[in-house]
Amino acid sequence: MPVTIQVHEKNRDEEFGILRKEVLFPMVPPIETPTKCVKNPPSTILPNASINEVIKKITLKSIESIREGIDTPNKSIKPRFLPNKLNLTIFELMFDMVPDKDKIKSLTSYWYASSQSVLVLPTVTSTMLKEGKKLSDKKIFEYVGMMRYIIEITEAVGNHKAFIGTIPLLPPKYSKPIIELYLEKGFTSFAIDVGTKDFLNHETDFRAILTEINEEAPLNKAFIYACNLGIPQFEMYRARADDFLSLFAYVDGFGSTFKTRGSYKMPISKPKVKKFLRTELCYEHIYDSREKVNDFNQIEQVTEANLIRNLVGKEKMQKYLNTKKAVDSFAIKHLGSIAQKVKIS
């Protein structure tokens, strides 16, 4: 059996899927959730954040650099670790097909050496799971085979780190075999890669993943991380912060959006960016430095997540949500629906 992350429920809200937990990861101080994970955080955020994301994009050319010893964890990964934090190293595989086993072996060795105490199974591009524009049973089978191979060769040489199984947000037919693999291997921690989608507009798929996990690994004893969360698309004014609201849908920690949506354009000196407003739980469009606003958003989201963590079990979350103007009846209804339909003991 793999090393597991120990989770202890401390409190919960009865109407929404938000729990306060103590989470014990190997070799790092305990963490309390719900929490916001940060990426490349500014110094002002460090005392308040528990989890630091270290993102690494991997191409086939990257694997060749790894095999030749040009790229090493000590050069490109470990300098980005922060002291006294859980450093989550997340590989984003940027190729369309499962590579051969020799390349997977090289990648797995590098990934293991790059990970602090937790092994997050890599995320992949949507094209790895599709034939043309459609999801493919064959491609899903190949993807599951790659994940199985990574897990098994890691365990075979001796593993003292805990796995987090990564699950792309897919319809139940396609997510089920991925989750079954992780449950078969004894995993109790999972990363949902939302793929820049708005999870409230994909509630059926999101809820199906939570339900499948909950049947074998009860959510009050599991650690659920989510990344690449999207928000409702908007052109002017403001939009509800659905990424943040994932904390009310059994997500213990939500991270960054590191995948791109649509085509990339060179930024102008002050591009239109999304600024997070704690008072309303929304984003507003402003023209400012992207780096400056990203830092601001991380600070504000960590602060707000820490605030609601202290409210769980002490105050009704409905009362908290009612103070946030952007959180409309649609969001409250769907968040409540997830909690009602994914029951935990």
Q: What is the set of domains in the chain, with CATH numbers?
A: 6-258+268-341 (3.20.20.105)
The CA-atom distances, in angstroms, between 209 and each of 42, 190, 204 are 33, 10, 9
Sign of CA dihedral 304, 203, 228, 120: positive
- Nearest to residue 166, comparing CAs of 95, 235, 228? 228
Write the CB contacts of 176 (distance below 8 Å, at least 6 apart in sequence): 208, 212
pLDDT grade, residue 168 (50/70/90)? very high
Cα 89 from Cα 120, distance rounded (Å): 7
End-to-end alpha-carbon separation of the chain, Å?
24
Output the pLDDT for position 40.
87
3-class SS shares of the chain: helix, strand, coil, % to 5 = 40, 25, 35
Is the backbone peptide bond immediately before 79 cis, with ω within 30 degrees of 0? no
Across residues 51-61, what is the average pLDDT? 97
Across residues 229-236, what is the average pLDDT? 83
Confirm whether pTM is higher than 0.85. yes
Helix residue spans in 13-136 (DSSP H)? 60-67, 73-76, 101-114
β-partners of residue 191 are 166, 225
Q: What residue type is assigned to position 245 of the chain?
A: L
Lowest mean pLDDT among 73-77, 96-100, 230-234, 245-249: 230-234
Interval 249-293: pLDDT, tens: 999 999 999 998 754 555 556 788 999 999 999 999 999 999 999
- Nearest to residue 42, comparing CAs of 320, 270, 299? 299
Lowest mean pLDDT among 24-33, 143-152, 161-170, 234-243: 234-243
Cα 141 from Cα 91, distance rounded (Å): 20
Write the CB contacts of 7 (distance below 8 Å, at least 6 apart in sequence): 21, 22, 23, 24, 188, 220, 221, 222, 223
Strand pairing report for 118-120 and 162-168? parallel
Cα 246 from Cα 25, distance rounded (Å): 22
Q: What is the pLDDT of the chain when averaged over all its residues?
A: 94
Write the CB contacts of 316 (distance below 8 Å, at least 6 apart in sequence): 13, 15
Output the pLDDT for position 77.
97
Locate tokens 């609201």: which residue?
Answer: 245
